[in-house]
Amino acid sequence: MLFNSIEFAIFLPIVFGLYWVLGKERIKAQNAFILLASYLFYGWWDYRFLILIFISSFVDYLIGIRLYQTENQKKRKNLLWLSLGVNLGLLGFFKYFNFFVDSFIQAFTLFGKNLTYDSLSIILPVGISFYTFQTLSYTIDVYLNKMKPTKDPISFFAYVSFFPQLVAGPIERAKNLLPQFERQRTFDYALARDGMLQIVWGLFKKVVIADNCAIYVNKIFEHYGEVNSSTLLLGLIYFLFQVYCDFSGYSDMAIGLGKLFGFKLMKNFDYPFFSRTIPEFWKKWHISLTSWFVDYVYIPLGGSRKGLAKKIRNVFIIFIVSGFWHGANWTFIAWGFFCALAFLPSLLRKKEKQYSQIVAEGKTFPSLKEFFQMLGIFSFIMLSMILFRSPDIQTAWNYTQGLFSFNFHPFDLGRMDYFYFIVILLIWEWLSRSKEHSLQIDHLKQPVRWVIYFATTWSILYYFGQEQEYIYFQF
């Protein structure tokens, strides 16, 4: 069930109304209803997927309790390995089985051995990468004594399957979201209103920009060998904004939906295109995944504590693992390596934490230095999208060669339609970069606000109906 679908437009008001009426002042009733609604939402794609999320939830619920009851360190480690084995085993089979088998066979061909194998027709369960990391954060935090396990199975199962952020994040930590299932929630009009505005903004990014950019991106990448450098450049720009508006749009809708039901989810994007360095960009892009890898991979490996060489090693590990998390393809591994290389200069100069404040805070325009810094980071991220979008390394190389053949011509105006929406988006996000989302405009006069609300809503309704799947569902 897609957020930008007729089915969800029917599902949401029914669930919202029943949740606040039936579950009024009764936490367990609210949680049980959220669980049922979440399983209905998830099973809408394929009811068979429900068994996987149930297994992950059931295993980690029991392991969390056993970890708390057991003081023997060896037994506790075994329990942790059991959780890792079950969750990563399911993820590995459904997402990476054919990749490893195909890579194994290709490796043998280098030595003159031709092996044959018919790949299995394995359906990738929607959101498995997201809810696997979410439930693992619970087990690891209990193991590290950072939190106590819950003994309420309904709360825990609802935490793992919470439908607003189930299939594409944010990847919520148990420390943040699970306690919200264990305390009383009452309807907050101001929070719900802000949630609705954030949903509208997320829909605008998804329906108006991402879905329309996707049409041109698909055409350009399918015929990249037949077009000039200008068109290849436009294809990259469109793809970057397709990814950004698709994923950050989903995150906005997820966070907004959470507010409707009395939950506060973590921020997942923080205006990343206004970053001045590569480290600053990764602190603002897909924040829930970046911070997950830092806390559960980078720091356990030693983080920055064991010398420069191991610090560099750890950075490369989390970027390459992050690339592989995005997909079972060598292009994603190469993308992760490419991003790690770009991170390296800041690391060597010890500038990873150089910028923490909002760029040009309190000013209308950035300085010339800040402008070129942001342009440089934008250009690099855009180029990295060649690897992210290409089906294989050869295609990525060919696309890059075509782009840098410098066969530039005036842009085809027929393909520029949505470029203007991108410009409007960037200007509006720049003006609202200190806000949680771009429709927090209560500081404007009421007539101006209503014009903006109307224009945004009209644009969504005009382009509504394509129901293109979210790009991050494939991850």
pLDDT in tens, 411-457: 654 556 678 889 999 999 999 999 999 999 988 899 999 999 999 99
Q: Are residues 210 and 64 in the same domain?
A: no
Quick check: 106 pLDDT over 80?
no
Confidence of residue 2 (pLDDT cuts 50, 70, 90): confident
Residues 96 and 227 grouped into a single domain: no
pLDDT of residue 164: 94
28-74 pLDDT tens trace: 889 999 999 999 999 988 888 899 999 999 999 999 999 999 989 99
| Same-domain status, 253 and 161 | no
Same domain, 229 and 376: yes
Last residue of a domain, one of 175, 204, 224: 175
Same domain as 416, residue 369: yes
Within a domain: residue 131? Answer: yes
Q: Which of 4-8, 110-114, 232-236 has the lowest mean pLDDT?
A: 110-114
Give the pLDDT score at 102: 64
- Closest of 280, 312, 277 to residue 298, by C-alpha: 312
| Confidence class for position 119, pLDDT limits 50, 70, 90 | low
Which one of the listed residues 223, 286, 326, 437 is annotated catalytic? Answer: 326
Claim to verify: residue 117 and residue 254 sit in the same structural domain: no
Q: How far apart are CA 113 and CA 124, in angstroms?
A: 30
User: Within a domain: residue 283?
Assistant: no
Residue 468 belongs to some domain of the structure: yes
Phi, psi of 271 (to 5 degrees): 50, 60
Average pLDDT over residues 94-113: 65
pLDDT range class, residue 156, cuts 50, 70, 90: very high
Cα–Cα distance between 192 and 179 in angstroms, integer? 20
Same domain as 95, residue 207 = no
Exposure string (b/e) for 325-341, b if CB count within 10 Å is 16 or more? bbbbbbbbbbbbebbbe
If pLDDT is split at 50, 70 and 90, which confidence band does 308 have? confident
- Rounded to an integer, what is the distance from CA 45 to the centroid of its chain? 19
* CA distances, 182 to each of 33, 140, 291, 401 (Å): 14, 20, 24, 55
Torsion of CA 76, 77, 79, 84, to 10 degrees: 150
Question: Are 18 and 115 within one domain?
Answer: yes
- pLDDT tens-digit map of 322-351: 998 888 788 999 999 999 999 999 888 888
d(CA 143, CA 69): 11
Mean pLDDT for 134-140 is 94
Confidence of residue 274 (pLDDT cuts 50, 70, 90): very high
- Clarify whether residues 162 and 199 are in a common domain: no
- pLDDT the model gives residue 1: 72
As a three-state string, the secondary structure of the chain is: CCCCCHHHHHHHHHHHHHHHHHCCCCHHHHHHHHHHHHHHHHHCCCHHHHHHHHHHHHHHHHHHHHHHHCCCHHHHHHHHHHHHHHHHHHHHHHHHHHHHHHHHHHHHHCCCCCCCCCCCCCCCCCCHHHHHHHHHHHHHHHHCCCCCCCCCHHHHHHHHHCHHHCCCCCCCCHHHHHHHHCCCCCCCHHHHHHHHHHHHHHHHHHHHHHHHHHHHHHHHHHCHHHCCHHHHHHHHHHHHHHHHHHHHHHHHHHHHHHHHCCCCCCCCCCCHHHCCCHHHHHHHCCHHHHHHHHHHHHCCCCCCCCCHHHHHHHHHHHHHHHHHHHCCCHHHHHHHHHHHHHHHHHHHCCCCCCCCCCCCCCCCCCCHHHHHHHHHHHHHHHHHHHHHHCCCHHHHHHHHHHHCCCCCCCCCHHHCCCHHHHHHHHHHHHHCCCCCCCCCCCCCCHHHHHHHHHHHHHHHHHHCCCCCCCHHHHC
Exposed / middle / buried, residue 222 (Cβ in 10 Å: 0-12, 13-18, 19+) = exposed
Q: Is residue 181 part of a domain?
A: no
**443 an active-site residue?**
no
> Mean per-residue pLDDT for 82-87?
95
6-20, 97-111, 292-306: least confident range: 97-111
Share of the chain above pLDDT 90, in %: 61
- More confident site: 471 or 59: 59
Domain assignment present for residue 184? The answer is: no
For residue 427, how many other CB atoms are within 10 A of its CB? 10
pLDDT value, residue 26: 84
- Please check whether residue 324 lies inside any domain of the structure: no
The pLDDT-based confidence of 105 (bands split at 50, 70, 90) is low
Average pLDDT, the chain: 88
Number of domains present in the structure of the chain: 2
Is 451 found in the same domain as 413? yes
The answer to the question of residue 378 being in a domain is yes
Q: How much is the average pLDDT of 215-237?
A: 89
403 in any annotated domain: yes
39 and 166 within one domain: yes
Same domain, 367 and 443: yes
Backbone angles phi, psi at 187, to 5 degrees: -65, 130
The arithmetic mean of pLDDT across residues 204-225, rounded, is: 90
- Output the pLDDT for position 109: 60
- pLDDT for residue 169: 77
Inter-residue contact 274 to 376 (CB < 8 Å): no
pLDDT confidence band for 307 (50 / 70 / 90):
confident
In angstroms, rounded to a whole number, what is the distance separating the alpha carbons of residues 459 and 4?
A: 13
Residue 223 pLDDT class (50, 70, 90 cuts): confident
Alpha-carbon span 165 to 172, nearest angstrom: 8
pLDDT of amino acid 287: 94
Domain that holds residue 97: 6-175
Q: Which of 109, 141, 175 is the last residue of a domain?
A: 175
